[in-house]
Structure 1
Amino acid sequence: MGILNLTPDSFSDGGKFNTEKSALQQAEKMLKDGASMIDIGPQSTRPNAEFLSSLEEIKRIGNVISLVKKEFPDALISLDTFYAETVKFGFNEGIDLVNDISGGQFDVNMLDAVAETNLPYILMHVNPSYQTMHEKTGFTDITLTVNQYFSRKTDELLKKGIKDIILDPGFGFGKTVEDQMKMIGEVEFFGFGSFPLLIGISRKSFIYKPLGKSALDINEETQKLHLKVLRQGAKILRVHDVAEAKKTVDEFLRLN
């Protein structure tokens, strides 16, 4: 899954792809590099990012979804939003998946909107509000906490008729470096093996800050972690550097 940020303020590529032309060029590059999905994000969710309404998200997306679908009809388009109205807009534009960092907690209408569209849904573990999503709360056992959340939320989703569910443990959201390294080592235990697992660690600070490096200078370390999570059953890697991740996936498939 290649990341296409339409934002001026994302932590590592803000402003690079926030025109229709540059977004389409980046989508083309990622697909040529081996992506099978493009995750389009109109809003940055890094700490202290600008907060957008659904209307502002829709305005920022503009024609990007429909243009990518027209140009690359075989590509799967995921929409990264926590708003019901943005989901409805994206559905009409042709999206294939909903990637919701909030687990339906930031908009009371979100899960009903997903159920109405019958789209696959990516459920991420996160703190219960936009204001607290990056607060580090000090988990006794992060894997147990995430699995309790997944158990509760997947039950809610299934009751609403949302059955095509992908799980995301939520790297980079309200977790310490120690929490996240523990999560990397325990990926095989997430989600009880009932749902496919998405891992999004690309350019995350828990990797580069302890090394004293920048977000753009940790490719080697990231690919080693990607290989580790693939060996534990991860099915989707959400990444900025598609070509490098594709090499890792190919190596994993060759060895397995």
Structure 2
Amino acid sequence: MNASPSPSVAPAGSAGPGVLRTLLERPVPAVMGVLNVTPDSFSDGGQFIAPDQALARARAMIADGVDIIDIGAESTRPYKGAQPVTARDELARLMPVLAEVVALGVPVSIDSMKAEVVAFALDQGVAIANDVWGLQRDAGMAPLVAERGVPVIVMHNRDSVDPAIDIVQDMIAFFQRSLDIAARAGIARDLIVLDPGIGFGKTAEQSMTALARLDALGAFGLPILVGASRKRFIASVSPSEPQERLAGSIAAHLIAVQRGAKIIRTHDVAETLQALRVAAAIESKQ
């Protein structure tokens, strides 16, 4: 399927660098809200797949104070059961709603591992690429990001879980490969954000270790995004279903901020933003 740019929406390329800079200059970490237009995402699959529901959700997150809306049309749930879809499927889910979400005026990121889908999204005015395979799955992703000059979120991932490995060393090696790919493609280093990929290719213990040792990624000198929202590791500490993990999500995110995270990806925008603001206010009194 060939995706044509929308004639009414300017491409995001020239605005991308400024978008990331503005987000990182916020007095508290930026909050990225999750918008899944999928039938099978682990926490809210099917709830927002209809265009009117997706738009309503986007408007609600904006009212709650979201800084970025992260829209995805393929479940990349970090557990078994997600059904891979084609680029055609993703585009079919995005086409009825993406331009309207962008038109709401808040920066939008596209959560996709397929360069074809990301290209379409950028043509609709999306500002940021969010690749859950860190530029290592689709060979066309890094050249596309470089050509468009947009920020990219590079997430750590693994094809399988290995409880025996040092997950932090694995992340460091993965990110070095991703950064090498980015450099060869010509992606400006100041447009790259690292994401430890909480829950992806990790045991519950490894996810918690990744959060506890998040500051080890500071050696790269790049901003860090953390999305621990409603992840299964929380249930390993306190048995719960995804919708019952708000408190655990906030605890994980506050620790992530203490360890250096600058962007927090969450399903629960208002509650997360309140927690971040209160924590920042208390810290300012030291």
TM-score by length of 1: 0.93
Distance apart, 1:139 and its partner CA: 4.4
- Decide whether the 8 Å contact of 1:188 with 1:233 is kept in 2: yes
Alignment of 1:209-220 (within 5 A): 209-220=236-247
| 1: CA distance, partners of 2:197 / 2:164 | 14
Corresponding position of 1:161: 186
Higher RCO (CA < 8 A, seq sep 6+): 2
Corresponding position of 1:66: 99
Q: Which amino acid aligns with 2:41?
A: S
Distance apart, 1:63 and its partner CA: 3.2
| 2: CA distance, partners of 1:142 / 1:105 | 18
Corresponding position of 1:242: 269
Q: How far does the alpha carbon of each residue in 1:55-89 deviate from its partner, in whole angstroms, 9 at most, with x for none?
A: 1111110132210122x22x110000011110110
Structure 1's consecutive aligned runs of 4 or more residues displaced over 6 angstroms after TM superposition are: none
Instruction: Give 1:15's match in structure 2, choosing from 26, 46, 52.
Output: 46
Q: Is 1:175 aligned to residue 202 of structure 2?
A: yes
| 2: CA distance, partners of 1:89 / 1:187 | 33
Instruction: Give 1:95's match in structure 2, choosing from 126, 135, 147.
Output: 126
| 1: CA distance, partners of 2:222 / 2:246 | 28
Corresponding position of 2:7: none
Instruction: Give 1:45's match in structure 2, choosing from 66, 69, 76.
Output: 76
- Decide whether the 8 Å contact of 1:139 with 1:145 is kept in 2: no
Structure 1 runs not aligned, ≥5 long: none
| 1: CA distance, partners of 2:72 / 2:162 | 26
What is the percent sequence identity of the aligned residues?
A: 37
Structure 2 runs not aligned, ≥5 long: 1-31
Q: Is 1:189 aligned to residue 222 of structure 2?
A: no
Corresponding position of 1:148: 173
Q: Is 1:138 aligned to residue 163 of structure 2?
A: yes
What root-mean-square deviation, in Å, do the aligned CA atoms of Structure 1 and Structure 2 show? 1.3
Q: How far does the alpha carbon of each residue in 1:132-180 deviate from its partner, in whole angstroms, 9 at most, with x for none?
A: 2xx2123432112111211221122123121200000111111111111
- Decide whether the 8 Å contact of 2:193 with 2:223 is kept in 1: yes
Distance apart, 1:222 and its partner CA: 1.7
TM-score by length of 2: 0.83
- Decide whether the 8 Å contact of 2:250 with 2:272 is kept in 1: yes
- Decide whether the 8 Å contact of 1:147 with 1:191 is kept in 2: no
- Decide whether the 8 Å contact of 1:223 with 1:245 is kept in 2: yes
| 2: CA distance, partners of 1:193 / 1:227 | 21
